[in-house]
Amino acid sequence: MKATVRAMRESDAAAFDYEYTLSGEIKSGETFKTLYARQRMKKVNVYVAEFECKLLGYIVVSYETTLKGEIIVHIEDMYVLPLFRKCGVGQSLLNYAEREIVRRYDKVNASIGIGAAYGAAQRLFIKNGYMPDGMGVRFNGRILQEGANATNVRSLCLKFSKELKTLDDVKIY
């Protein structure tokens, strides 16, 4: 299946809420309306994959400014509706996001859950050249110390990064 990837539109929020409900999954955290609002405020870029006007999945890229004024680019979330998994949709979303990121930045980060539900995402990111940062597991954004307890929830993850390369002033990935 060859998905088309584009920036999220306001009408996509209601469509994703509907598709998410149909899939039987529970969306924790932000609603799609909130994601769209964050995109309008230029806090994130949300890209959606579609095929024949049907939404298949999305990827969220966020930008954080450090105290030193550096921009950290982070793939904050990626989701493909269950019916369209293992069809190349995740790869299409990741490729599109990287092409957009590399226009301005040389590095991208991603935090990926360590539970079994995130196995496909772990494989996808590793296959595409993402490397763990070597700092170990994070829980709620902080490095989990040796011997500490944590629940296997979405906030338990490994941080990965990828250097995006340039060639003759034209960035490639």
Residue whose structure tokens are 């590095």: 107
pLDDT reported for residue 30: 62
pLDDT reported for residue 5: 97
Task: Identify the three-state secondary structure at position 51.
Answer: strand
Model pLDDT for residues 28-59, shown as the tens digit of each residue: 546 788 889 999 999 999 999 999 989 999 99
Average per-residue pLDDT for the chain: 87
Q: Please, how many CA atoms are within 13 Å of residue 3, restricted to the half-sphere of its CB?
A: 26
Q: What percentage of the chain carries pLDDT values higher than 90?
A: 57
pLDDT reported for residue 120: 92
CA dist., res. 57 & res. 26, Å (int): 15
Ranges of beta strands (E only) in 39-91 are 44-51, 54-65, 71-80
The lowest-confidence range among 6-10, 70-74, 77-81, 162-166 is 162-166
Q: Per-residue pLDDT averaged across 78-106, rounded?
A: 94
| b/e per residue 85-123 (b: at least 16 CB within 10 A) | eebbbbebbbebbbebbbeeeeebbbbbbbeeebeebbe
Model pLDDT for residues 145-171, shown as the tens digit of each residue: 888 887 777 778 999 999 997 544 444
Q: Per-residue pLDDT averaged across 17-21, rounded?
A: 75
